[in-house]
Amino acid sequence: MNKKFLAIACLAAVVAISPSCKKDFLNESDPNAVTVDASYKTPNDVLLAVNGIYQSMRSGNNVGEGSDLWTDQRSDDTGTNDNQSNSGEPFQFNNFSILPSNTYLKAHWVSLYTTVSRANVVLSHIDQVSFPDNNLKLKYAAEAKFLRAFTYFELVRLWGDVPLVTKQLSSAADVAASTFRVKQDAVYQQIIADLTDVINSPLPNLQASTGRASKAAANFLLGQAYLTMATTLDQTNRTANLNNAKAALMAAYNMRNFGDLNSIPYTDVFDVSKKATCPELIFQIVNIQGDLNYSSSNAANFQAKGETINSQKPSSGAGYNVTHDLINEYETNDPRMTFSVKYANDPIVKDWFVTKFRDVSNAAGVNGYGGNDWILMRYADVILSLAEVNNYLGDAATATGFLNQVRTRAGMPTYAVSMTNSDYASRYPTLKLAILHERRVELAFEHHRWFDLLRTFTTDELVAYFKAKKQADFGLAQVANFSTKDRYYPIPFDEYKLNPVKMYQNPGY
């Protein structure tokens, strides 16, 4: 019998028989155990619980800096490219050969639902706590709802229909009653409801610490949700969803505390010494430079053998591999390429690696305990999202204006000038493809590329898009494996087998 099912069955049995047992020894409680109810007594208890929701997101199994397996390696930007890595379960993501039994995929699923569960526990217990300042209570509830919406947005884009749970599950019966997939529309409506509450809460437009939720972050996430609905769901409500996306994105844009984007140097966004002051940043996972447990490992892990640009920590491997398909995407003289990637000449490497996240400071030291925060939201993304939504609404002039903000900041020619270049015009013949290109080079390695592709292309178009790519630009990963089934991940086998009807599998798996 499956261990998870056995555990649930045993719990259900205990719940079922307990009321009929009258012996005192069966009703005794562990004096060293603290129930969830007893954990919520003061506002500080609630704050600690909200902090626990944020903490759950730090993991690479969740959306932390090491979570590229579910996104970038699923796209055409990165992937493993050596004989040692190209085996086993991690390579299935890059190779489009993933199996429902993949334990890495299951770990991602479990971690995301852990975040949802923590948010639900807070929201289920916050009303039992007396707050001298009711606004503080509303702020904590808003943070929990934002993080729940953020996580469900990740889940629904990766798996489609997913279980939707909005309360604490306290028994085996609760778990069984909630173990079923609901349609994407219902998940999105919950995301919208949560984010609407956040936007109407006392949270500030922007937080002093970008490590916490804000109204700007909620508006941006709401705009992304509406934009994704407009481009991936039933097209009946496309125009309404696009207009809602535009309104939310403009609300986020108007909350910025700077003028044009070109007032912020591109390199400032990733400067570890400016991570707390750069006005482009909206929401990120905060790391502590030099700290064993809460530092960033990107700078060190991404560095190739023989290189010193990222970190003082010596590297013995290939660093973080970049597909040649992405390298070929950069326009000539794009300074973002010079900053983001480098060619390693070491005999065992001879390939490109990521340099976008650097910390060579003495504080990070030879152990590579970097201080880079993991950026989840920034204003260049908001601006390019506005370019995307305005283009879909038929307002090419406004879309181009937003696109040019990003290109001008990067030191690149405007869209109109670029279209006079035959190479650019042939590669990106439409404004839609030009925006997709700009997102790719501006936001490279920030885990957005896969979701950008899902919004831009239908499933059949996405298959054609990948099939048209050159195998030589992908190393050992087989582009030919890509098919319509790869639009969504498979439901993890351990979840599917509990109830094959209610936890039905995605097509093709």
Which pTM does this prediction carry? Answer: 0.92
Distance set, CA 409 to CA 155, 265, 334, 400, 442 (Å): 33, 7, 11, 14, 10
Residues 425, 403: contact at Cβ < 8 Å?
no
Q: How confident is the model at residue 491 (pLDDT cuts 50, 70, 90)?
A: very high
* 19 located within any domain: no
Residues 435 and 490 in one domain: no
| DSSP assignments along 367-394, one per residue | TT-B---EEEEEHHHHHHHHHHHHHHTT
**Contact residues for 4 (Cβ-Cβ < 8 A; gap 6+):** 494, 498
Residues 379 and 482 in one domain: no
Residues 155 and 280 in one domain: no
Residue 56 confidence (pLDDT): 98
- Strand 281-285 to 374-378 pairing: antiparallel
Residues 155 and 237 in one domain: no
Residue 127 confidence (pLDDT): 97
* Separation CA 303–CA 313 (nearest Å): 9
Task: Answer with the one of 349, 371, 393 that is the final residue of a domain.
Answer: 371
Residues 445, 77: contact at Cβ < 8 Å?
yes
Count CB atoms within 10 A of the CB of residue 372.
25
Task: Answer with the one of 371, 393, 410 that is the final residue of a domain.
Answer: 371
Residues 158 and 97 in one domain: yes
Residues 355 and 428 in one domain: no
Where helices occur in 302-349 by DSSP H, the ranges are 324-327, 335-340
Residue 10 confidence (pLDDT): 37
Residue 383 confidence (pLDDT): 99
Number of structural domains in the chain: 3
Q: What is the 3-state secondary structure (H, E, C) of 416-460?
A: HHHCCCHHHHHHCCCHHHHHHHHHHHHCCCCCCHHHHHHHHCCHH
Residues 148 and 75 in one domain: yes
* DSSP run (H or E) holding 187: helix 184-199
Q: Domain of 509: which CATH number?
A: 1.25.40.390
Q: Which residues of 194-221 are buried (b: 16+ CB within 10 A; e: fewer)?
A: bbebbbebebebbbeebbbbbbbbbbbb
Q: How confident is the model at residue 476 (pLDDT cuts 50, 70, 90)?
A: confident
Comparing CA positions, the residue from 241, 230, 232, 237 lying closest to residue 462 is 232
Residues of the domain holding 366:
287-371
**Contact residues for 456 (Cβ-Cβ < 8 A; gap 6+):** 231, 432, 436
Which of 8 and 339 is assigned the larger pLDDT? 339
Residue 28 confidence (pLDDT): 56
* DSSP run (H or E) holding 474: none
Q: How confident is the model at residue 36 (pLDDT cuts 50, 70, 90)?
A: confident
* Separation CA 492–CA 380 (nearest Å): 34
* 93 located within any domain: yes
Half-sphere exposure of 237 (CA within 13 A, CB side): 13
* 400 located within any domain: yes
**Range list of β-strands (E), 20-162:** none
- Cα of first residue to Cα of last residue in the chain, in angstroms, is 23
Whole-number percent of the chain with pLDDT over 90: 89
Residues 276 and 412 in one domain: yes
Residues 425 and 397 in one domain: yes
Task: Answer with the one of 323, 346, 371 that is the final residue of a domain.
Answer: 371
| pLDDT, average across residues 376-384 | 98
Residues 74 and 157 in one domain: yes
What is residue 351's DSSP assignment? Answer: E
Half-sphere exposure of 161 (CA within 13 A, CB side): 12
**pLDDT tens for residues 83-114?**
444 468 999 999 999 999 999 999 999 999 99
